[in-house]
Structure 1
Amino acid sequence: MLKTKRSEIGWFILFSGMFLPYCITTTFSYFWPRIYQYARYLRILICFGTVLLSIFLLKKIKRQLIFILIVFVYLGILLYSTKVHNVDLSFYINYAVTIIFMVFFFELAVHRFLTEILNVVWFWCFILTLINLFTIIRYPNGFYIRYDVLSSGAGMPYWFLGNRNLYVDFLLPMMISAILLEFFKGKGQIKFYISILISILTVVFTGSATTILIICIIGFYWSYLKKRNCPKWFDGLYILIAYSIISIMIIGMRQANIFSFIIVNVLNKDITLSSRTSVWQDVLERIPGSPWIGYGYRSGTNFLPDREVMHAHNLFLHILYSGGILAFIALCILIVMCAYVLRKYKKYRLSSIMTTIFLTYLWMEFSEPRIYFPFLFAALTLIWNMPTLEKQIVNKKGKIIKIRWKKNGKQFKNRKIN
């Protein structure tokens, strides 16, 4: 293993090169449109380099092959649909490159550079969210206002990381990386409290129902589940079934009024969820026109040709519209596989953490598909590798220690890997 400090610097440069240009485009593309083109070239190069590095360093990843294969099938279906419908490939390339990088980058984390990469993710998200919080406090009405985002034509305030719906893309990875560092290394409590503080302050100044609920879920884990065995009811498969039922009721059957008390009184939203219900209905009406392969992966104001909507405001609906039933099935297979892993290895110490991650990312994708920063695939990669992660813990010197479980599954002995 590389020396911790040197490797962290290297991973930070790699991670920043992949995401920082796109973070900058979120704000500055409004003033300098060509920055998208330069950022895309850089991201492609970094993604290609990360894949080669993974192939070179990770020689035994048989378990991961099926997961990686389904990811490429999913992206292949989206590419085919995009080409068939002659859609601009730029949005698809950004999406595909980011997902491939996420999967291989976190495979490296699982097998070789666990704490180094977790430290990099935390520090990177910490810097960006701190700068963003400063701009929110300094410019409470917005760093600038965009009038081309909302279909109503009303202005949408933007800060360093974009509008308020985009902050959770960085707040959640920051909190999760701190939790994982505390679990594997025993040094993450201060980072976690800093992460929670920044998240709460960001929500106080801007307000975001998604972020509020995610902070509550993370807080529930930290205060209740952290030192307990994973409860029987806190099961990945149960969560997925409940999530599917709620999604069908609210999106498919248009029965949001059943949850009106939570939507109005808890989330402080109107019953249309800020006009999302009309978008969902519009997208559902168009899907039968190309049910199997969709209409091609697209985003921005051209998502729906005759309506200024950036995306479908739900990941699964977005993919169903973009890649059809085939892409939707491929994505669902990945998620069901991870839900099965959570159930199969429920007695593992990591079970509570990974189930919490699973729940938070499903919720995060409910109202906003994270098409620019799809950390969902990083989360799925970690969950799929839970048996490998469970066997690792890092001592104070940064070396990996293997855990040998006893038959009762509660006590364990440490044995250093040579």
Structure 2
Amino acid sequence: MRVIIWWYLLSKISKMIKNKGIKNKMRIKISKTSSTIIIHKAKVFRTMLILVIVICLMPPQGLLVMIPVLNIVWKYLIILGIFISVIWYLYRIHRSKRIGKSLIVISMYFITVIILALQPGSSFFSCIANYLPLFSGLLLFESEQDNIEILFSVIHSYLFVLIIINLVCLLLYPNGMYKSISITEYELNWFLGYKSSFQFYLYPAFILSFIFLNYSKKQIISSLIVVLCLLEACLGKNYMLLVVLIVCIFLYYFINVDKLKIFNPFTCIVTLIIINIGLVSMYLLNIEFVNILLTKILNKSVTLSGRAIIWACTLINIHKKPWFGYGTLSIEQRYQTFHGVPHSHNQILQVLFEGGGIGLIVYLIIIFYVFVKLSKTFYLKTTKIILIAIFGLFIMGTVEILTHQQDVLIWMIFYLGCYSEKIDNQLFS
């Protein structure tokens, strides 16, 4: 009888333990499911937030020109994008309790141009309108430096959509969709704007695609974007962009097969100095080789679409105010100063014009800082891709400027040089 009673009690206890274990397992499963849902919601929120900021800061320029009402609306959306990026950054540093050293260094240039915009004859409002979107793009990257895969994927996907729409417009309207008139009449305008505006969208998409080509999940779409960028640069007759893209592809190939060991941050800087100073100097001195390069190879006019006149005029103005420059001029002042165009068509000359010697020194300091960061991690493939990207940027900087309001993603690419190791760890780990 006692044996039966003990057996009964033990069976009851074992059932209770078993039921309790099942309940605990259910609780664990429920807690895991709820945490997964929370993580998923956070990822969706972050994705949407990044997308909203990028859309606000990087609208398709041609669409705004074709629909004037939309242009007015988007001016407020840019303010919204700046506001969201600043608030999000402040929230992130409040949680992390740290401010990135790289952001402080890069901020030196933005602070310098804002201070110089306070001098008589400069337009402080134009300075804020031009440089704040660029700085907001850096704040976005700084906020999402621990979620680089999501950030890159959102930007990559957004640019892919814009590139597809622009390609359709190029095929339907090979001679341009509309005319834009400032002092000069421009016909080669499409969804992304005038042909020289293509680089604001195509080049960042091209570089992100190079990064993703080493990342198995996005190889097909990345290869497609590389081809589309080359095609659109060709169809849009943006030959400088096309040359830069081809140079980047060759450098990428030779570095991949380890046959270009001479290409490193030091040789990159030396080459860029020679290109930036040499090309302008040789052209102003009317050296025949440069004329042949422009007219026969790049299909440009002998005056390089008037750039020689603009460079000469800019150098005269720089000589008048060599130390502090003229600050950021209003759009009307710029068209008068640069003979009907809004800038000097050379990045170094533009920095000297706006900031004088002081601005150039600060600008060179941040370039030096980024190249030092790159040299420390040059053994990483990501670092080599970013160096190629920055090299390409400064080649374009010989005939264009990199401080447009629309250069948000161009500056973000430059900023990647400060975080190549973190990018590599997150994408390729």
TM-score normalised by the shorter chain: which range applies?
0.7 to 0.9
> What's the counterpart of residue 372 of structure 1?
405
Contact residue 119 and residue 327 of structure 2 kept, 8 A: yes
> What's the counterpart of residue 284 of structure 1?
315
The alignment partner of 2:417 has SS state of: helix
Distance 1:28 1:93 in 2: 25
Distance 2:203 2:379 in 1: 25
Distance 1:251 1:377 in 2: 23
Q: 1:139 to 1:300 in 2, by over 3 A?
A: farther
Match of 1:164 among 195, 201, 217: 195
> What's the counterpart of residue 268 of structure 1?
299
Match of 1:115 among 149, 158, 180: 149
Q: CA deviation at 1:222?
A: 4.7
For 1:368, the aligned partner's letter is E
Distance 2:420 2:279 in 1: 32
Distance 2:64 2:91 in 1: 27
Distance 1:231 1:54 in 2: 40
Q: CA deviation at 1:35?
A: 4.3
Distance 1:132 1:21 in 2: 9
TM normalised by structure 1 equals 0.83
Q: CA deviation at 1:304?
A: 5.1
Counterparts in 2 of 1:142-157, with a 5 A limit? 142-150=176-184, 154-157=185-188
> What's the counterpart of residue 246 of structure 1?
275
Matching of residue 187 in structure 1 with residue 226 in structure 2: no
> What's the counterpart of residue 317 of structure 1?
349
Q: Deviation digits for residues 250-286 of structure 1, max 9, x if unmatched?
A: 2245246343443333222233221111101100100
Matching of residue 219 in structure 1 with residue 249 in structure 2: yes
Uncovered stretches (5+) of structure 1, i.e. residues with no partner: 395-400, 402-418
Aligned length: 385
Range with greater deviation from structure 2 (276-285 or 233-242): 233-242
Distance 1:83 1:230 in 2: 50
Matching of residue 349 in structure 1 with residue 381 in structure 2: yes
Range with greater deviation from structure 2 (327-336 or 303-312): 303-312
For 2:325, the aligned partner's letter is G
Identical-residue share of aligned pairs (%): 20
Q: 1:57 to 1:20 in 2, by over 3 A?
A: farther
> What's the counterpart of residue 264 of structure 2?
235
How large is the RMSD of aligned CA atoms in angstroms?
2.6
The alignment partner of 1:157 has SS state of: strand
Counterparts in 2 of 1:68-87, with a 5 A limit? 68-87=103-122
Matching of residue 20 in structure 1 with residue 59 in structure 2: yes
Distance 2:109 2:414 in 1: 14
Q: CA deviation at 1:99?
A: 2.1
Distance 2:269 2:421 in 1: 20
> What's the counterpart of residue 395 of structure 2?
363
Contact residue 56 and residue 78 of structure 2 kept, 8 A: no
Matching of residue 202 in structure 1 with residue 232 in structure 2: yes
Q: CA deviation at 1:96?
A: 2.2
Q: CA deviation at 1:26?
A: 5.1
Q: 1:147 to 1:95 in 2, by over 3 A?
A: closer
Distance 1:149 1:125 in 2: 30
Contact residue 58 and residue 108 of structure 1 kept, 8 A: no
TM normalised by structure 2 equals 0.81
For 1:239, the aligned partner's letter is C
Matching of residue 298 in structure 1 with residue 298 in structure 2: no
Q: 1:179 to 1:368 in 2, by over 3 A?
A: same
Contact residue 152 and residue 208 of structure 2 kept, 8 A: yes
> What's the counterpart of residue 328 of structure 1?
360
The alignment partner of 1:188 has SS state of: helix
> Higher helix proportion, which one?
2
Uncovered stretches (5+) of structure 2, i.e. residues with no partner: 1-37
Matching of residue 45 in structure 1 with residue 45 in structure 2: no
For 2:152, the aligned partner's letter is L
Q: CA deviation at 1:192?
A: 1.9
Q: 1:329 to 1:215 in 2, by over 3 A?
A: same
> What's the counterpart of residue 13 of structure 2?
none
